[in-house]
Structure 1
Amino acid sequence: MKIAFVGKGGSGKTTLAALFARHMVETGRPVLAIDADINQHLAAALGAPAEEATLPPLGEHLPAIKEYLRGDNPRIASAAEMVKTTPPGRGSRLLRVVEENPVYAACVRPVGGVRLAATGAFTEADLGVACYHSKVGAVELLLNHLVDGPGEYVVVDMTAGADSFASGLFTRFDRTVLVCEPTLRSVGVYRQYASYARDYGVALSVVGNKVEDAADVDFLREHVGADLLTWVSRSAYVRRAERGTVGPLAELEPANRAVLARLAEAVDTTAQDWDRFTRYAHEFHRRNAAAWANERAGTDLTRQIDPDFVLGPSALSAPVAG
């Protein structure tokens, strides 16, 4: 299952993404976590000390990632012609959640017991000339080529607000978790996200955060309705973690630990639709090709689409480059 955590800035989405990833690992599930937020805080939320919170950025390894994923796909003439939306086809190399490969060797590190990759923070060279989406292109490319089997999980901490709708990245997940405070600004982000996601069949769950009393729950129910899955109460454990002391997960308040179990249950009962995943991968590749990528590459990149290839477990048996 691929799970995205989204929400208003400051809503607690990174904190909840970290808690959920740790909960899944502690309950014996294989997890790959990805920090795709412009503000790189997931490593710290997982418990990495400041000197260890910077990971090898995926973006710095993008040429090598493209070359590896291209494999011997005859529709892709060179890695230079691959863009963030390039879909896999016969001959492409596919990724599993748990395996040994050059991409993971270069970019994935264990942090707080969780295997973590990160887009990388903005550098001085990026200021004024680069956008957020230039950083998450590697994440979109990885998700396009990743086959997560039953009982495997990819947890992605997304950028704040609805920025992911500027690309097709929002369709790359089996379930999207929107973290929502009981405030008008936070439910405003929910409304924006839900309105965009509705037309694409995005499975959306809302988890309330910083809930203090029944009035907060009533407020969320009034504005979010049936999308409200559960809620996290004010937490002394989280306050300590935000000050740099990330304790064992057993110290999390029982009611809040139960929230993680409820969220895991919702994720596990979500049906994976590989046909839909592949269809939207093709659709957004066509859109990007027409909007900018064909001109940049000097060729028609829609030829990269393999119409007879569907990403999913069955594709793992297809021949790929050695």
Structure 2
Amino acid sequence: MKVAFVGKGGSGKTTLSALFARHLAASARTVVAIDADINQHLAVALGMSEDQAFLLPALGEHLPEIKEYLRGTNPLISSAAAMVKTTPAGRGSRLLRPAGDDPIHQRFARPAGAVTLLATGAFTEDDLGVACYHSKVGAVELYLNHLVDQSDEYVVVDMTAGADSFASGLFTRFDLTFIVAEPTRKGVSVYRQYRDYAAEHAVPLAVVGNKITDPEDIDFLRRHVGDDLLVCLEHSPYVRAQEQGRHAPLTELEDTNRAALDRLHAAVDARPQDWQHFQAQAVAFHLKNAAAWANESTGEDLAQQIDPGFAHGPGTLQALSSS
């Protein structure tokens, strides 16, 4: 299952991304966490030191190599240079498994405890004024477009803050999106934006209340988000200690907050995967991007990259493995 955490800056989405990834991994599941935020803090939240986080290889700095591998022998893609962030998989494309034995995971993935971590890379000084962070995040979109996740395999993505998540089709790549909201007016503002965009594209979402201190906080969130409020996490001394660099086993997290993580896990597992819809969304956003800018940028008609005979999902992956 593919899961995203979104929210305004400071809402706690990175902390919750890390807690949830660790919670899943504690059950001996395959868990890949991806830092797709412009501020790269997920590695440290997962327990890495600042020095270890600094040394993480950046997906966003190696797009040509990633594209070259993923296109495989797909005859509809003329070259890696003709691939863009929305290019969908087709026959001949290389498909990925979470934390699989492939060059992308071997080169870019690093262990963070029991979690496998990938990072887009930070927005550097060289990028200022000349680059868009969404070009880096494009590596994550390509990764997810070519990923086949199965039972007990999870990908948890810490998205960039606010409505910036909608600058590409990346927001449609998830089985469930958790909107992290504090019990304030600003805290629920991103929820309203995300709810409206998500409704247009059949993106399933749920709200996670965070930094709750009393029942009035829950009442406030319930008034503003209604039935989309799935669960709330209380203000956490455990999280505060973690943010201060004092990491402890997840078993020491407060009982109420561990129960909240159980609720999130149950909600994710209850979502059915619809691979036909997943591929249709990828195609729709690819056509949209092709018409808006990508055809002109590459000098090709990128609609020709779409393979109408390709069926995404475990069946295709199994057939490729057998062959």
Q: Same fold (TM over 0.5)?
A: yes
The separation in 2 between residues aligned to 1:65 and 1:297, in whole angstroms, is: 17
Following superposition, the deviation at residue 162 of structure 1 comes to 1.3
Q: Secondary structure at the match of 1:265?
A: helix
The separation in 1 between residues aligned to 2:292 and 2:200, in whole angstroms, is: 21
Q: What is aligned with 1:26?
A: 26
The separation in 2 between residues aligned to 1:317 and 1:139, in whole angstroms, is: 23
Following superposition, the deviation at residue 28 of structure 1 comes to 1.6
Q: What is aligned with 2:254?
A: 253
Query: Letter of the aligned partner of 1:29 in structure 2?
Result: R
Q: What is aligned with 1:52?
A: 52
Following superposition, the deviation at residue 14 of structure 1 comes to 0.2
Following superposition, the deviation at residue 318 of structure 1 comes to 4.2
Q: Secondary structure at the match of 1:176?
A: strand
Can you give the 5+ residue segments of structure 1 that lack an aligned partner in the other structure? none
Q: Deviations over 1:54-89 (max 9, x none)?
A: 210001221111111111111111111111111110
Query: Letter of the aligned partner of 2:34 in structure 1?
Result: I
Query: Letter of the aligned partner of 2:197 in structure 1?
Result: Y
The separation in 2 between residues aligned to 1:227 and 1:310, in whole angstroms, is: 32
Identity percentage of aligned residues: 65
Query: Letter of the aligned partner of 1:291 in structure 2?
Result: A
Q: CA RMSD in A?
A: 1.1
Q: Are the aligned partners of 1:179 and 1:206 in contact in 2 as well (CA < 8 Å)? A: yes
Q: 1:29 to 1:317 in 2, by over 3 A?
A: closer
Q: What is aligned with 2:294?
A: 293
Query: Letter of the aligned partner of 1:154 in structure 2?
Result: V
Q: What is aligned with 1:16?
A: 16
Q: What is aligned with 1:232?
A: 233
Q: Secondary structure at the match of 2:312?
A: coil
Q: What is aligned with 1:3?
A: 3
TM-score by length of 1: 0.98
Q: Deviations over 1:92-145 (max 9, x none)?
A: 100001321100111100013210000000112101111221110100000000
Alignment map for 1:182-221 (pairs within 5 Å): 182-221=183-222
The separation in 2 between residues aligned to 1:244 and 1:305, in whole angstroms, is: 47
TM-score by length of 2: 0.97
Alignment map for 1:270-289 (pairs within 5 Å): 270-289=271-290
The separation in 2 between residues aligned to 1:137 and 1:89, in whole angstroms, is: 18
Q: What is aligned with 1:130?
A: 131
Q: Are the aligned partners of 2:99 and 2:105 in contact in 1 as well (CA < 8 Å)? A: no
Query: Letter of the aligned partner of 2:42 in structure 1?
Result: L
The separation in 2 between residues aligned to 1:317 and 1:209, in whole angstroms, is: 40
Q: What is aligned with 1:157?
A: 158
Q: What is aligned with 1:89?
A: 90
The separation in 2 between residues aligned to 1:287 and 1:296, in whole angstroms, is: 14
Q: Are the aligned partners of 1:47 and 1:245 in contact in 2 as well (CA < 8 Å)? A: no
The separation in 1 between residues aligned to 2:195 and 2:35, in whole angstroms, is: 22
Q: What is aligned with 1:242?
A: 243
Q: What is aligned with 2:105?
A: 104
Query: Letter of the aligned partner of 2:171 in structure 1?
Result: F
Q: Are the aligned partners of 2:32 and 2:116 in contact in 1 as well (CA < 8 Å)? A: yes
The separation in 1 between residues aligned to 2:200 and 2:61, in whole angstroms, is: 34
Following superposition, the deviation at residue 317 of structure 1 comes to 3.5
Following superposition, the deviation at residue 230 of structure 1 comes to 0.4
Q: What is aligned with 1:140?
A: 141
The separation in 1 between residues aligned to 2:320 and 2:196, in whole angstroms, is: 40
The separation in 2 between residues aligned to 1:228 and 1:123, in whole angstroms, is: 36
Alignment map for 1:283-322 (pairs within 5 Å): 283-319=284-320
Q: Are the aligned partners of 2:21 and 2:156 in contact in 1 as well (CA < 8 Å)? A: yes
Which has the higher mean CA deviation after the structures are superposed, 52-61 or 37-46?
Answer: 52-61
Q: Deviations over 1:190-224 (max 9, x none)?
A: 11110111111111011100000110011111101
Can you give the 5+ residue segments of structure 2 that lack an aligned partner in the other structure? none
Q: Are the aligned partners of 2:87 and 2:305 in contact in 1 as well (CA < 8 Å)? A: yes
Q: Are the aligned partners of 2:109 and 2:118 in contact in 1 as well (CA < 8 Å)? A: yes
The separation in 2 between residues aligned to 1:31 and 1:113, in whole angstroms, is: 8
The separation in 2 between residues aligned to 1:195 and 1:188, in whole angstroms, is: 11
Q: Are the aligned partners of 2:182 and 2:210 in contact in 1 as well (CA < 8 Å)? A: yes
Alignment map for 1:73-84 (pairs within 5 Å): 73-84=74-85
Q: Deviations over 1:139-166 (max 9, x none)?
A: 0000000000122100000001111111
Q: Secondary structure at the match of 1:96?
A: coil
Runs of 4+ in structure 1 displaced over 6 angstroms?
none
Q: Secondary structure at the match of 1:307?
A: coil
Q: Are the aligned partners of 1:205 and 1:229 in contact in 2 as well (CA < 8 Å)? A: yes
Q: What is aligned with 1:177?
A: 178
